[in-house]
Structure 1
Amino acid sequence: MGLQKDEVAQLIDPVLEWAELSDAANRPMETYSSGMKSRLKFSIATAVKREILMVDEALSTGDATFAEKARKRMKTFLDDAGTVFIVSHSASTIQKHCTRVIWLHEGRVIADGNPKKILRSYNLWTKRLSVGNEAGAQHVINTALRRYSEPQIFLESEYQAYKNSTS
């Protein structure tokens, strides 16, 4: 994370305390449960404020107490105006934390934009899949693909030219 050794040393106790692992600090990692490992990884990742943080399903692991604690910590990151990428299958997690959603399906972007709109389609897709309605689920995917248009990415000079040509 680009920290000096003395900075890391100062973070060890707070990281272990937040992850509720102070009693297990001297145990080998292979003796940790998956929940303990998840708490530790999340605590380490969020111990230092960063401009960009990527969280992959971390908010959906652990017990209810940890999940609430993680949500509160994530909220502080969001309140401090950093960029947080959350990778999740949990619509409620996305709804609570995200201002933009990118839906990936089979490695391909099929939707990008407003969380409320995209989650409505995602929930319909999962509902159809769960009852075995493969054709209906595929219809949701096809509709999302038809509506999606790739964003245009410009260098600053290209953007000025584009902006001038459209005004």
Structure 2
Amino acid sequence: MADTTTTSSADSATSTTAGAGTPADTRVPTVIADDVHITYRIVGTGAGRGSATAALSRIFNRKKPKPGIREVRAVRGVSFIAYKGEAIGLIGTNGSGKSTLLQAIAGLQPVERGRIFSHGQPSLLGVNAALMNDLTGERNVILGGLAMGMSKQQVQERYQGIVDFSGINEKGDFISLPMRTYSSGMGARLRFSIAAAKDHDVLMIDEALATGDASFQRRSQKRIEELRQTAGTVFLVSHGIGTIRETCDRVLWLEHGVLRMDGPTQEVCDAYEEFGKQ
């Protein structure tokens, strides 16, 4: 059994002050990642890795496939402290461990070694407000709000604001249509709108702001600023460096599962872009 603990505890988070260089009583920690390691174990077959040629060979030769386990180290020894009021961007090339790290913070992905402490309940956009394709957008707004802990009255009071914020109805009455008729961008905007209707201790957003027009992105950035002031911490994963620069004041750069850099947005983004030119 792996030596790992994931804890949601305000007392635990507040009592840890390592690494920040700032007295604990001036900033409130919301997430602490302490030497986090995450490994995926993929069960597969032997030679051929499931290719068509290998499958035909097994059929004709009557050979049983040899089971095997492949390990992928998605996150390797990542440590950081996030504080209330911060908007933190996560950048890195594809497969660098950004989404995996967010899932671990949300409690959806177990860690192999290390610990994650959180103040309150982290919310990962698209999970707490999971949408159902066979239901209308209207029904999804109601169910999504309830799933995130809103009361029926709160959902009713915020319903029109959610719809207007998403822009779903700007080109027709799409909110009354099943979600399966939506484009991926429309679905992402509605997810963000539902999640953003509630204040969060920790809100994690994975590529949601990459969709939508400039007007929606401006509304989203303004809402993130409000969340930072009224709630806790916002994490944003995006391949768009421009979005990170405009939205975040701190950036974590992950590469091959390793935290390569943690610092002010301009400094880290400049280093990342220079790295991409090499």
Shorter-chain-normalised TM-score: which range?
0.5 to 0.7
Could you tell me how far apart the structure 1 residues matched to 2:241 and 2:248 are? 10
Tell me whether 13-22 or 49-58 shows the greater mean CA deviation. 13-22
What SS class does the counterpart of residue 186 from structure 2 fall into? helix
Could you tell me how far apart the structure 2 residues matched to 1:39 and 1:108 are? 31
Which has the larger share of helix? 1
**Is 1:15 matched up with 2:162?**
yes
Correspondences of 1:3-152 after superposition (within 5 Å): 3-22=150-169, 23-80=173-230, 82-128=232-278
* More contact order relative to length (CA 8 Å, sep ≥ 6): 2
Cα shift readout 1:61-90 (whole Å, capped 9, x = no counterpart): 112222222222222223435211111122
Could you tell me how far apart the structure 2 residues matched to 1:99 and 1:65 are? 21
What is the aligned-residue RMSD (CA, Å)?
1.8
Amino acid paired to 1:21: I
**Gapped runs of 5+ residues in structure 2?**
1-147
Asked if 1 retains the 8 angstrom alpha-carbon contact of 2:199 and 2:231, the reply is: no
Amino acid paired to 1:106: H
Could you tell me how far apart the structure 2 residues matched to 1:11 and 1:71 are? 19
What SS class does the counterpart of residue 176 from structure 2 fall into? coil
Amino acid paired to 1:48: K
Corresponding residue number in structure 1 for 2:65: none
Amino acid paired to 2:268: I
What SS class does the counterpart of residue 2 from structure 1 fall into? coil
Amino acid paired to 1:34: S
Amino acid paired to 1:52: V
Q: Percent identity of the aligned residues? A: 41
Superposed displacement of residue 106, structure 1? 2.1
Cα shift readout 1:88-144 (whole Å, capped 9, x = no counterpart): 12222222222321111122221112222211110112223xxxxxxxxxxxxxxxx
Task: Give TM-score, length-normalised by structure 2.
Answer: 0.43
**Gapped runs of 5+ residues in structure 1?**
129-167
Structure 1's consecutive aligned runs of 4 or more residues displaced over 6 angstroms after TM superposition are: none
Matched length: 128
What SS class does the counterpart of residue 25 from structure 1 fall into? helix
Could you tell me how far apart the structure 1 residues matched to 2:231 and 2:165 are? 22
Could you tell me how far apart the structure 2 residues matched to 1:98 and 1:65 are? 18
Cα shift readout 1:20-43 (whole Å, capped 9, x = no counterpart): 224211100000011211110110
What SS class does the counterpart of residue 198 from structure 2 fall into? coil
What SS class does the counterpart of residue 48 from structure 1 fall into? coil
